[in-house]
Structure formats: C-alpha cells, structure tokens
Amino acid sequence: MSEKHAVAENKALELAEEVRAHRSADHPVSPQFISRWSARSYSDQPVSDDTLHTVLEAARWAPSSSNLQPWRFIVAKTDEQLELFRSFILPGNRIWADKAPVFILLASSKLNDKGEPNGAHAFDTGAAWGTLALQAHLLGLSTRAIGGFDRAKAREVLDVPDELELLAVVALGYRGGLESLDERFHDREKPSPRRNLSESIIEAKARA
Ligand SMILES: Cc1cc2nc3c(=O)[nH]c(=O)nc-3n(C[C@H](O)[C@H](O)[C@H](O)COP(=O)(O)O)c2cc1C
C-alpha cells in the first residue's frame, strides 16, 4: 500500500467531527462503516487508473452465489465517455453528478453459466457495490450511487445486451468543498442518520 493510501485509510478509520455530529453506533463497530457517506460534491482532482482499479478490485472479491460473480462494471472516465453517461442520468442528479470524474455503471448478469436465471444476481452485485464503496472510502474517495437514470436510454447508448440488468450508476471522485456544489444541495451535504438497529432486527419465532 502506498503512503498516500495508508494516510487516507487512517483518516477513514477516524470519526471526523462532521460524522460524529450526525452519526453514532448502537454497538461497537469499525469506524470505516460509519465514516463512509455519500457526498455529492466533487473536486477537480482526477482519479488515477491505479486507484480506480483498486476500487474495482475490492468489488471483485465480493461473495456471490455459486461464485458466479454476476457484476460487470461499465466505466466512464474520458470526457467522451462521461458525456455519454450524462445523456441518461436524470436531470435532478446531473445537477451534482456532472462534476464527477468517473462513473461506473453497475450491470448484473441475469443468467448462470448454463443460461438459466440466476435469482441471486442483484443481491451479489449489490454486495460488490458495498465493497467498492468501502474501498473507495478507505482510499479517501467519495462514491454516491445513482438509481435515477434512464435505463432504456443507457442500454441503447452503451449497447448493453439484454442479459445484463442495469442496477445503478456510481459516481466516484475526491470530495470537493461546498463551493463546488450547487447550493440547492448544501443543506443535504452531510452524513445521514440511521434508524436504531433494534428496529431492523426481527426475532425469529414460529407461527402460533
Ligand atoms: C441503489 C441506490 C440508488 C440511489 N439513487 C440515488 C439517486 O438517484 N440520487 C441520489 O442523490 N442518491 C441516490 N442514492 C444515495 C442514497 O440516497 C444514500 O446512499 C442514502 O441516503 C444513505 O446515505 P449515505 O450513503 O450517505 O450513508 C442511491 C443509493 C443506492 C444504494
């Protein structure tokens, strides 16, 4: 690991004041999970190919049903590729996402090796998104997933085969200051809270 990456990783393992102001864990957990959040602002700093590959490498090691690895990453990083993505990202998201230096369209193969439906493909590609986002965070980058894009248009523009389901676009880049973000989003540029863990846990019980 490079010194630059080690510094970024140490930072991700600290809870910055802005994170502590909005988030607290109900139970002990590695700070990397709490300090990741989806900022909308991006700086002009480019993302190197090495960094991008490390982010995708983390996704590669996600678990998947029968190790089918259904995830596919359609990457945009040149001006021409970014412009293609902007053509199908919905206007409300473009207000902030237009400044992202990299987009990754997360596609997922719906079929297994025998051409049969893989019922777990979206679950598995979602797991890959989770590891990708955490690795980006550990490298000092921000990610924000975008479900608000025109899937039919993306398929047409990028010539994506029917066998791949288009799940989300991920914007990736180094976080910028508020001056780089449209003021309509300033109030929301902060870590979001979570409901209490107890509200998500359902005690298993047999039907009476
Ligand atoms: C599948 C998916 C789709 C999303 N779509 C959008 C979107 O279209 N626009 C947007 O601004 N944020 C989008 N988000 C970001 C979520 O709103 C955000 O992750 C959530 O509020 C939790 O905040 P955090 O990631 O900062 O912890 C999406 C997230 C996911 C996982």
Q: Region 178-187: what's the mean pLDDT?
A: 97
Q: What is the pLDDT of residue 165?
A: 98
Q: What is the pLDDT of residue 12?
A: 81
Instruction: Determine phi and psi for 175, rounding to 5 degrees.
Output: -65, 140
Residues having CB closer than 6 A to ligand 1 are: 37-38, 93, 144-148, 168, 191-192
Among the atoms of ligand 1, which is closest to the Cα of residue 97? 11
Identify the residue whose C-alpha is closest to ligand 1 atom 28.
Answer: 145
Q: How far is CA 20 from the centre of its chain?
A: 22
In the numeric block, which tokens belong to residue 23? 């988030």
Q: Region 98-122: what's the mean pLDDT?
A: 98
**To which CATH superfamily is domain 3-19+34-192 assigned?**
NADH Oxidase (3.40.109.10)
At 50, which amino acid appears?
A: D
Percent of the chain with pLDDT over 70: 100
Instruction: Determine phi and psi for 78, rounding to 5 degrees.
Output: -85, 160
pLDDT digits (tens, 9 = 90+) for 128-181: 999 999 999 999 999 999 999 999 999 999 999 999 999 999 999 999 999 999
The answer to whether the predicted template modeling score (pTM) of the entire model surpasses 0.85 is yes
In the numeric block, which tokens belong to residue 94? 């473009």
pLDDT classification of 13: cutoffs 50, 70, 90 = confident
pLDDT over 80 at 5, yes or no: no
Alpha-helix runs per DSSP H in the chain = 3-12, 17-20, 31-35, 49-60, 79-86, 91-97, 121-138, 151-158
CA 113 – ligand 1 centroid, Å: 31
CA 81 – ligand 1 centroid, Å: 22
Enumerate the domain spans of the chain: 3-19+34-192
Among the atoms of ligand 1, which is closest to the Cα of residue 37? 26
